[in-house]
């Protein structure tokens, strides 16, 4: 199938702060939207499609277009947790290709840190909707981190993956974070113990949060946000910077099933769709932006996207594959990732931002001759129900 270049990322902005008291998620979204449009050289009123996880003003996505003061032809408030932004990018590409819109705006804003939300350790509160899922899961005291930890337990049992191998993920991405001034400021402002490169031993000696996951295998909880502008080829040809083309997209969901394999993410279903559309293989990818809520998330995504065989992720990540300057590509999470740069609750948008920076040649840990990048978001909770979307991007 010939590769299609129907839509491109033409403008990006990452809100620079991770500790931002006194600014609301809506304000972060509006500021990021304005700066992403400026990055592209497009006007505010050029936006004719709005993608947003919604909810800031209630009733799903009602309220976001009004807050911005836009009159979009498309409003899409797909919300599946942290991967929402890859879903939305794929949907925007499809709608642009169908001629329904020309300039799509995706925004994100969160004050998770300043609100002091204990996302990972709060556990079921018993105050969510009265539903079958909540009724079956509320009583057991499972925290979000424990949910992912159950996947790690099974991965170690089923494939013999070791803690040392898992540690290779935070060690590599911390190295990238130390080269990214915004990530260094993030870790400093969030009062990380030791804003420096990590060793395997550091990871193995950090405290257990939910066995077998340790502190340094868990993402931060920050404030933050950003915006992405996706546009049609006609628009993309006239923007300030080189467009970054979206050449493939796939999405899937997965949930607890009798006899199901918890180590296999929805990425296994989404990836062939995306790679098939793009007409490329994992071996050709230069940059992998994989949702790193936890070490285990990355392990599963690397395997399920086909960068190695299922169950061989431990050996793959353990041999130095992940760093930006290793000749064996892809480089992983070159901005520092959710582990060491930015995770305000839903990290997906940052995967698109750094993938775009890489393909423009603007990363602080630039992969040499980067031509192809994958952004793979994983939202929800890996051990129970989650949604994975893969977005494949290509340099102009």
Helical axes 163-178 vs 295-304, angle rounded to 10°: 100
SS3 category, 255? strand
Q: What is the binding site for other proteins (CB under 8 A)?
A: 118, 121-127, 130-143, 145-147, 149-151, 153-154, 157-158, 207-213, 256-260, 262, 383-384
Q: By C-beta, is 116 or 327 nearer to other proteins?
A: 116
In whole angstroms, the minimum distance from the beta carbon of 142 to other proteins comes to 4
In whole angstroms, the minimum distance from the beta carbon of 261 to other proteins comes to 10
Q: By C-beta, is 104 or 112 nearer to other proteins?
A: 112
Q: By C-beta, is 119 or 190 nearer to other proteins?
A: 119
Q: By C-beta, is 140 or 369 nearer to other proteins?
A: 140
Q: By C-beta, is 100 or 154 nearer to other proteins?
A: 154
* Phi, psi of 364, rounded to the nearest 5 degrees: -75, -15
DSSP string, 260-324: --TTS-THHHHHHHHHHHHT--GGG-SEEEE--SBHHHHHHHHHHTTSS-TT-HHHHHTTTTTST
The enclosing H or E element of 237 equals: none
Q: By C-beta, is 30 or 382 nearer to other proteins?
A: 382
Task: Rounding to the nearest 10 degrees, give the CA dihedral for residues 44, 46, 47, 48.
Answer: 150
CB 235 within 8 A of CB 42: yes
CA distance 329 to 174: 18
Tokens 């590509």, located at residue: 329
In whole angstroms, the minimum distance from the beta carbon of 143 to other proteins comes to 5
In whole angstroms, the minimum distance from the beta carbon of 219 to other proteins comes to 15
In whole angstroms, the minimum distance from the beta carbon of 274 to other proteins comes to 27
In whole angstroms, the minimum distance from the beta carbon of 66 to other proteins comes to 35
């Amino acid at each position: 199938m010939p590769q299609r270049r129907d839509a491109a990322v033409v403008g990006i902005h990452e809100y620079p702060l991770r500790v931002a008291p006194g600014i609301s998620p809506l304000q972060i979204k509006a500021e990021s939207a304005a700066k992403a449009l400026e990055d592209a050289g497009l006007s505010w009123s050029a936006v004719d499609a709005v993608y947003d996880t919604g909810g800031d003003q209630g009733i799903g996505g009602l309220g976001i277009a009004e807050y911005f003061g836009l009159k979009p032809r498309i409003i899409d408030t797909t919300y599946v947790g942290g991967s929402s932004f890859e879903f939305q990018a794929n949907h925007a590409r499809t709608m642009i290709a169908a001629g329904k819109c020309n300039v799509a705006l995706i925004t994100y804003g969160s004050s998770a840190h300043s609100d002091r939300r204990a996302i990972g350790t709060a556990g079921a509160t018993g105050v969510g909707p009265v539903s079958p899922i909540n009724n079956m899961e509320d009583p057991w005291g499972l925290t979000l981190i424990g949910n992912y930890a159950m996947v790690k337990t099974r991965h170690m049992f089923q494939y013999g993956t070791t803690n040392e191998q898992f540690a290779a993920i935070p060690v590599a991405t911390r190295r990238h974070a130390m080269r990214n001034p915004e990530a260094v400021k993030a870790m400093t402002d969030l009062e990380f113990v030791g804003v420096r490169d990590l060793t395997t031993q550091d990871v193995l000696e950090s405290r257990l949060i939910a066995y077998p996951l340790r502190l340094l295998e868990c993402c931060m909880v920050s404030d933050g946000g950003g915006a992405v502008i996706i546009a049609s080829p006609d628009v993309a040809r006239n923007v300030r910077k080189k467009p970054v083309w979206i050449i493939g997209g796939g999405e899937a969901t997965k949930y607890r099933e009798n006899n199901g394999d918890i180590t296999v993410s929805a990425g296994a279903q989404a990836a062939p769709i995306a790679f098939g559309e793009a007409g490329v293989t994992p071996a050709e990818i230069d940059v992998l932006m994989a949702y790193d809520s936890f070490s285990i998330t990355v392990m599963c995504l690397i395997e399920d996207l086909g960068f190695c065989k299922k169950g061989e992720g431990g050996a793959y990540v353990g041999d130095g594959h992940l760093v930006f300057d290793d000749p064996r590509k892809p480089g992983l999470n070159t901005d520092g990732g959710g582990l060491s740069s930015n995770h305000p609750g839903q990290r997906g948008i940052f995967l698109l931002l750094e993938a775009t920076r890489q393909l423009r040649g603007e990363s602080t840990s630039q992969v040499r001759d980067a031509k192809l990048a994958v952004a793979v978001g994983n939202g929800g909770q890996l051990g129970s129900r989650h949604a994975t979307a893969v977005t494949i991007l290509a340099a102009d």
